[in-house]
Amino acid sequence: MSAKSLQKHKEENNFSEFYKRLSDFIPELKQFLIGSLKAAECQALLDRGFYDPEELLDEIYLETFEAYSEQEEETKLRRSLFKKAIGKMLEKRRMEGPDDVNTHSLLKEELRALDEELTIDGEGDLILKEELDDISYSQKRGWTTAILLDKALEQQLIGQLDLHEDVLISEEKRRLLGQLYYSVPPKSKTVIELMVFGNQDTTEISEIMEVPEAIIMKVLFKVKERFRLL
């Protein structure tokens, strides 16, 4: 994709061709929005079917079209598009943090929380601390809230997190997967969704979220460790 072709469509006020070129340039953006919306719906963070990923994509591309400059590099444009998508999702979830707290600080806080939430039970199994005193855990290691993710999302998650197919062998396992995913803090969840649904690597996620890559790698490690509970 060339910046000149985008600029040409901008000057001609041809949004449909501009849209098509952006869609061809970064198909992962649509997949990220589809995956993030489905995941939010499965966790009851958004009403099912209320938001259309195509409409969100239209908004993102229209904002980009209106502000586009030929001087914008492809890498910067890619980063900008994902940032807009994350912003749309945060807006819809109504979970945006205070303006004076940056993503880097929030992720570091979440890393500490992820560390503190895990412990070892009497049998040597890794568990969440909050489950130690839960009656359902002591009886059958169940969860009080049933959260089932879309099956396609489950397949994406276990593939990207290197989990075994046995994770989906029973309804109880699927509920546990949903609960563990639901309990991941919001900024850390954005990291996971960029990797799983947006097909972005740690370097790209670092650039999109403007956070050191080392922090992104730690978040991924801690979240994968959490999913060892399965």
DSSP string spanning 20-48? HHHHHH-THHHHHHHHHHHHHHHTTSS-T
CA atoms within 13 A on the CB side of 65: 22
Element (H, E) at 91: helix 74-93
Whether the per-residue pLDDT at 18 is higher than 70: the answer is yes
- Output the CA–CA distances (angstroms, integers) from residue 145 to 22, 140, 166, in the order listed: 40, 14, 21
Alpha carbon distance 123, 137 (integer Å): 13
Whether the per-residue pLDDT at 223 is higher than 50: the answer is yes
pLDDT at 174: 85
pLDDT at 222: 87
Q: How confident is the model at residue 130 (pLDDT cuts 50, 70, 90)?
A: low
Q: How confident is the model at residue 122 (pLDDT cuts 50, 70, 90)?
A: very low
pTM surpassing 0.75?
A: no
Residue 216 neighbours by CB under 8 Å, 6+ apart: 191, 202, 205, 206, 209
**Contact 219/165 with Cβ under 8 angstroms?**
no
The mean pLDDT value for 3-7 works out to 82
Alpha carbon distance 142, 172 (integer Å): 7
Top-confidence residue, 116 or 86: 86
Per-residue pLDDT of 152-184, as tens digits, reads 888 888 888 888 888 787 888 888 888 888 888
Q: How confident is the model at residue 139 (pLDDT cuts 50, 70, 90)?
A: very low
Alpha carbon distance 209, 82 (integer Å): 9
The mean pLDDT value for 63-86 works out to 89
Whether the per-residue pLDDT at 98 is higher than 50: the answer is no
**How many of the other CB atoms lie within 10 Å of CB of 162?**
8
Whether the per-residue pLDDT at 123 is higher than 80: the answer is no
Amino acid at 86: I
Total count of residues recorded for the chain = 230
Top-confidence residue, 99 or 91: 91
Residue 51 neighbours by CB under 8 Å, 6+ apart: 37, 92
pLDDT at 56: 94
